[in-house]
Structure 1
Amino acid sequence: MTERILITGAAGGLASLMRPRLARPGRELRLLDVATPADPAPHEEVVTASVTDAAAVAEAMRDVSAVIHLGGHSLEGPWEDILDVNIHGSYVVLEQARLAGVPRVVLASSNHAVGFHPRVPEVPDYAFPRPDTFYGVSKVALEALGSLYHDSFGMDVIAVRIGTCFEKPTNARMLDHWMSPDDGARLFEACLNAPSPGFRVVWGVSDNTRRWTSLEAARALGYEPQDDSEAYAETIRAAEGERDPDRPPHNQIGGHWRLAAADPRNRTPRIDRT
């Protein structure tokens, strides 16, 4: 029997890293985005549409086993754009999944949902929301919608607070919160296959030596990270020098995003994509 998984935001950077790593015999990936994903494989079906288009999303939900919702603006932007695409678009995805009877949705949340959380030895999975930007607010709303759809309709929903996911960390901030692409695929597989997870909030990071976010909830789903950003630490330290964990941008989760949000004159943070 074919397993069909809908991936929204399928032309984005994270989805592009995950697509080949989530390929399995007997699994089809349905790729939804306003842009065309690069080089679709034979097991991939492309749907060109916005997550805000309820009719198109409803059609994309047909015969779907699960949804990985990565769609939305990945950077800070005007409130109107964030509200429409990130918040309303997430509602559309969850509502159309409910109407189609899709039993499980995995949501890409972010460290920016708790960006003002201070550095502690281990930030818990369910750290109370302290968003650092409008983008962070949208991820808080995303998690709240996921909770609502679980409690109201019994849908299994897992919100993954992703630190940063690139082929390798490129700055000192990423040494803390990096999730390797291979570990990202391991985590998404755990989210797809854990029996009856209900509603969960988990951190999406590798088991980094410098990690200060919990992996308890992710491991409870069956996630076993294999990678560590420390392999890149010497190179990054040589380029940036030693960092002070008690001073910005290393003393709170949100980094430079959090610093920019703290200044009411600046609503477009300098982005380090961490």
Structure 2
Amino acid sequence: MTIRVHEKLLLTGAAGGLGRALRERLKANCKVLRLSDRADVGAAGPGEEVVLGDLADPVAVDAMVKGVQAIVHLGGVSVEGPFGPILQANILGVYNLYEAARKHGVKRVVFASSNHVTGYYRQSETINADAPPRPDGLYGVSKAFGEDLSRFYFDRYGIETACVRIGSSFPEPKDRRMLATWLSFDDLHRLITACLTTPVLGHSIVFGMSDNAVTWWDNSKARHIGYAPQDSSDIFRDAVYARTPEPDLTDPAVQFQGGGFVKAGPFTG
């Protein structure tokens, strides 16, 4: 049973893939789920509010944050690409979000960070939350900035944040890399629920993965959150191996945890 500890919860990025996957699930966590995106999210259903706006617009962000008790922040650019859009959505946007949270007294944020903050560690390594960031691109850099900004807002203003370094959240793993990084939609919801309900969150980094036998990430530093994944990529292993070729160990996408992101770009504009 999911305990409702917040009256009104804000979900940014509600029109995105993970936002759509969480829309119905997160209604169990609150009385009212406020949905926000710059794209159309459709009409508000029972127990929902819709407040559209661009994260780069501080006035719009202030309106989407006003009156909520906690934020699940999925909004922004979610792939590697030119710096301009990343700057607006992921850097200016996350600053606007935390400023609005400070002004309106919001004390808990679940920030969708990314495994690409540490994408330049090798797939032969296992790292924990103490490992220094090694972003694999501009997108990863923007998420590292968000983690640092959230740390500042915790130290200065007491806003608790879980920086969830999401691996690969899809209905099932698409390739061999995802056997290590896969996070089911249900486990993503379990992880967010744990972040919203743990008595003391502080400023925490937690790797977003299911209970996969193969893993590069050690979540022992986040045990206080109480996340207990129940799904695993292991049931898909035979099918993934059958449809994918043997890995080329000279390929940087196979050598490094960030996969194809380490080869993306450079981008201009």
Aligned to 1:46: 50
The CA RMSD measured in Å over matched residues stands at 1.9
Aligned to 1:227: 231
TM-score normalized by the length of structure 2: 0.92
Residue identity opposite 2:123 in structure 1: R
Q: Is residue 2:161 matched to residue 1:183?
A: no
- Which of 216, 235, 251 is matched with 2:220 structurally? 216
TM-score normalized by the length of structure 1: 0.90
Aligned to 2:164: 160
Aligned to 1:254: 258
Is the CA contact 2:124–2:216 (under 8 Å) kept in the aligned structure 1? yes
Aligned to 1:267: 267
Q: Which runs of 5+ in 2 are unaligned?
A: none
- Which segment is superposed worse, 167-176 or 216-225? 216-225
Correspondence list, 1:47-86, <5 A: 47-86=51-90
Q: Cα deviations across residues 223-256 of structure 1 (Å, max 9, x unaligned)?
A: 0000110111111100113436785323211111
Structure 1 residue 217 displacement after superposition: 3.3
CA distance in 2, matches of 1:125, 1:250: 22
Residue identity opposite 2:111 in structure 1: L
Return closer, same or farther for 1:244/1:226 CA change in 2, 3 Å cut-off: farther
CA distance in 2, matches of 1:76, 1:113: 12
Correspondence list, 1:115-130, <5 A: 115-130=119-134
CA distance in 2, matches of 1:221, 1:2: 17
Correspondence list, 1:126-137, <5 A: 126-137=130-141
- Which of 135, 149, 154 is matched with 1:150 structurally? 154
Residue identity opposite 1:127 in structure 2: A
Q: Cα deviations across residues 16-44 of structure 1 (Å, max 9, x unaligned)?
A: 11111222275211011011224642111
Return closer, same or farther for 1:204/1:26 CA change in 2, 3 Å cut-off: closer
Q: Cα deviations across residues 88-115 of structure 1 (Å, max 9, x unaligned)?
A: 0000001100100001111000011111
Aligned residues: 264
Report sequence identity in percent.
42
CA distance in 2, matches of 1:2, 1:257: 36
